[in-house]
């Protein structure tokens, strides 16, 4: 038994100089017979600050003598490391690409301590007692093929200058570990990528603008992945990604009412999302799924995240099914939005073109909601991914009072120098009179933003963003 072993410590976490590496104190209960501890208890440890990293394999390394030294190995999976018997001097070096590359942390681990090591952080240990058993949980299955994804660092690297308790000249270590490269020769391990689906759509273009030249963000268009196909993700290597933003959707609200449109809407908005959610669950990926106000019947004037789904038409039904599928993956943000405006065909763009042609339109004045500019949706998604509040549904629109389509159209005309009176209001029933294949619309589409704002993010006023959008439209 380690002489430093402490009984009765409360479960607690401690941060370290390496981002994501967390040291834990473990409660150990002992008496004359020996000791007992809960080495891994998901509920308690997640509450104490451990990432819910989903371990799938438990490995034990038994070491005969003190001075046995192993490492430094950075692996493509997360690890929760502890000691069953004996004690080790642990050393960890950040070998991930980024500003913390080369950061070092060391600590002595005995049965009353444990440490969480994210993928890409180099791990090494030296035993301090004979008969030491070193245990670790990992969240991916080891395979010989995975070894080419490892990154290694020499135990004696002078740059990181680890103060090994037992000289490496006297320690027991493998010839392979003696010959690993020094830090100056190490190629940093790249982090997980972000994949954006639907990259050519309005939101996809806004996400491209938001992420800019970030090389860790990849984009896929319909030409790359046909979500209406039978196996849209068959050739996609999900192991490369830590986040998938699904901005792809079948959005022809009226087209979905036709036989072919119904099949396409369900294939893209529901079936493909279910397959995506399964893959994200398997690979522990965070899924950002874009939802719609059409999942509600519009009876309530303001819709909260917890309102039961009540879609009216096929489009809304397929989107609601996609929401349910997306929610099955543990790490999900369902971003529910409405009345989307961005770079492409949308209501504001249409009204601006009508105004420029001198057309005085009749516009529906009995549907209520808020505009959602794609630049603000992209910013909200970025905020959720950086701050990581509780997973779940988040309403995202621009702020301000609810408006009708007619009042928004009048705003467009006024911003462009035309008379508000050029827009005439009309009822939904009158507007679609004598038209077939029209999907039912929710009367009220205003979304409650309190949950998003509680995370520290408040989108811009719709009126302000509209003015900016139309200013750019005028200059184009």
Residue 87 in contact with residue 6, Cβ under 8 Å? Answer: no
Catalytic residue among 116, 136, 294, 394: 136
What is residue 413's three-state secondary structure?
helix
Residue position matching structure tokens 């990528």: 193
Residue 151 in contact with residue 186, Cβ under 8 Å? Answer: yes
Cα(126)–Cα(52) distance, integer angstroms: 28
φ/ψ of residue 63, rounded to 5: -125, 120
C-beta atoms surrounding 390 within 10 Å: 8
Cis peptide before 355 (omega within 30 of 0): no
C-beta atoms surrounding 269 within 10 Å: 30
Cα(466)–Cα(111) distance, integer angstroms: 60
Cα(281)–Cα(121) distance, integer angstroms: 23
C-beta atoms surrounding 240 within 10 Å: 14
* Catalytic residue list contains 73: yes
Helix axes 314-326, 259-266, angle to 10 degrees: 10
| Closest C-alpha among 123, 116, 175, 172 to residue 152 | 123
* Catalytic residue list contains 136: yes
What's the full length of the chain, in residues?
Answer: 476
Distances (CA, A) of 467 to 303, 314, 369, 400, 456: 26, 34, 18, 14, 25
C-beta atoms surrounding 148 within 10 Å: 7
Tokens of 407: 């009042």
Distances (CA, A) of 430 to 37, 298, 359, 363, 442: 71, 19, 19, 10, 16
Residue 332 in contact with residue 243, Cβ under 8 Å? Answer: no
β pairing state of 332-337 and 286-292: parallel
Residue 189 in contact with residue 102, Cβ under 8 Å? Answer: no
Longest dimension (CA), the chain: 92
How crowded is the C-beta side of 401, counted as CA atoms within 13 Å? Answer: 4
Catalytic residue among 73, 218, 283, 362: 73
Cα(139)–Cα(466) distance, integer angstroms: 46
Q: Which residues are catalytic?
A: 73, 136
């Amino acid at each position: 038994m380690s002489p430093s072993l402490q009984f009765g410590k409360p479960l607690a976490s401690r941060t370290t100089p390496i981002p994501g590496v967390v040291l834990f104190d473990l409660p150990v209960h002992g008496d004359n017979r020996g000791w007992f501890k809960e080495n891994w208890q998901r509920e308690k440890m997640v509450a104490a600050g451990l990432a819910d990293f989903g371990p799938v394999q438990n490995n034990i390394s038994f070491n005969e003598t003190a001075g046995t030294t192993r490492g430094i190995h950075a692996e493509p999976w997360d690890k929760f490391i502890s000691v069953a018997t004996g004690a080790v001097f642990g050393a960890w070096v950040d070998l991930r690409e980024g500003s913390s590359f080369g950061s070092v942390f060391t600590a002595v681990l005995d049965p009353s301590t444990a440490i969480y090591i994210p993928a890409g952080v180099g791990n090494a240990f030296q035993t301090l007692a004979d008969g030491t058993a070193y245990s670790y949980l990992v969240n991916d299955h080891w395979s010989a093929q995975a070894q080419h994804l490892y990154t290694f660092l020499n135990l004696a690297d002078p740059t990181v200058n680890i103060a090994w308790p037992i000289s490496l000249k006297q320690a027991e270590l493998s010839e392979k570990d003696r010959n690993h490269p020094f830090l100056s020769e190490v190629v940093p391990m790249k982090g997980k990528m972000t994949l954006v689906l639907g990259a050519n759509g309005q939101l996809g273009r806004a996400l491209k603008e938001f992420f800019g030249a970030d090389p860790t963000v990849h984009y896929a268009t319909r030409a790359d992945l046909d979500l209406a196909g039978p196996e849209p993700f068959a050739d996609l290597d999900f192991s490369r990604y830590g986040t998938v933003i699904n901005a792809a959707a079948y959005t022809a609200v009226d087209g979905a009412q036709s036989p072919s449109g119904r099949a396409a809407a369900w294939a893209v908005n529901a079936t493909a999302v279910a397959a995506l959610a399964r893959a994200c669950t398997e690979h522990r990926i965070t899924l950002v799924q874009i939802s719609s106000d059409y999942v509600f019947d519009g009876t309530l004037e303001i819709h909260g995240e917890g309102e039961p789904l009540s879609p009216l038409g096929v489009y809304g039904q397929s989107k609601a099914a996609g929401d349910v599928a997306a929610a099955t993956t543990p790490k999900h943000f369902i971003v529910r939005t409405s009345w989307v405006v961005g770079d492409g065909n949308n209501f504001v763009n249409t009204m601006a073109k009508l105004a420029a042609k001198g057309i005085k339109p009749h516009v529906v004045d009995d549907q209520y909601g808020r505009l959602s500019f794609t630049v603000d949706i992209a910013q909200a998604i970025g905020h959720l991914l950086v701050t990581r509040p509780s997973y779940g549904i988040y309403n995202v629109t621009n702020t301000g009072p609810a408006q009708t389509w007619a009042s928004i159209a009048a705003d467009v005309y006024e911003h462009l120098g035309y008379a508000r009176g050029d827009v005439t209001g009309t009822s939904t029933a009158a507007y679609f009179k004598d038209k077939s294949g029209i999907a039912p619309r929710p009367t009220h589409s205003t979304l409650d933003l309190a949950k998003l704002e509680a995370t520290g993010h408040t989108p811009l006023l719709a009126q302000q963003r509209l003015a900016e959008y139309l200013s750019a439209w005028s200059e184009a």
